[in-house]
Structures are given as C-alpha cells and as structure tokens.
Amino acid sequence: MIKKFEERLNLFLVDPNHPLLQNHKLISQKSIFRSFSITGDIRVVYKIEGDATRLYDIGTHNQVY
C-alpha cells in the first residue's frame, strides 16, 4: 500500500489532474477539500493552501467521507 501511495502521490505532484487520480472537489461540509484516488477504494483528502498542498486524511471511501 505504501508503494502505491508513493506512486500516486508522485503522479499527483507531476499532474494533479491525471485521469488515474480521479481528482475532484468534495461536496458537503468538506467543500474546501479535494480528493484523489490511491486505489479503487483508498482516497487522499487534501486542501490547497496558497502555494502548498496539505494532505488531511487517507483511508477508504467510507472512512474519509
């Protein structure tokens, strides 16, 4: 799982909108957050803060949403 996370994080850093990442803005209370996929069910929740991107949560779809 760590290797897959590293691969997807590196892809995110190069091309945040790559189709494999399924990057999207979250709807609801977490609307200031975005998410991208590590695997079919594992997601990373993040927020862009100025020039930085801060990762907030990593887990299954049900855990982070």
SS (H, E, C) 24-41: EECCCCCCCCEEEECCCC
CATH code of residue 29: 3.30.2310.20
Tell me: the pLDDT tens digits for 38-48? 998 999 999 99
Tell me 23's DSSP state: -
Q: Which residues pair with 43 in a beta bridge?
A: 37, 59
Best CA proximity match to 44, nearest among 56, 26, 31, 32:
56
In one letter, which amino acid is 30?
K
Residue 13's φ and ψ, nearest 5 degrees, are: -65, -30
Task: Identify the domain containing residue 17 by its residue range.
Answer: 2-64
Q: pLDDT by residue (tens digit) across 15-44?
A: 999 999 999 999 876 579 999 999 989 999
Number of domains in the chain: 1
**pLDDT value of residue 28:** 75
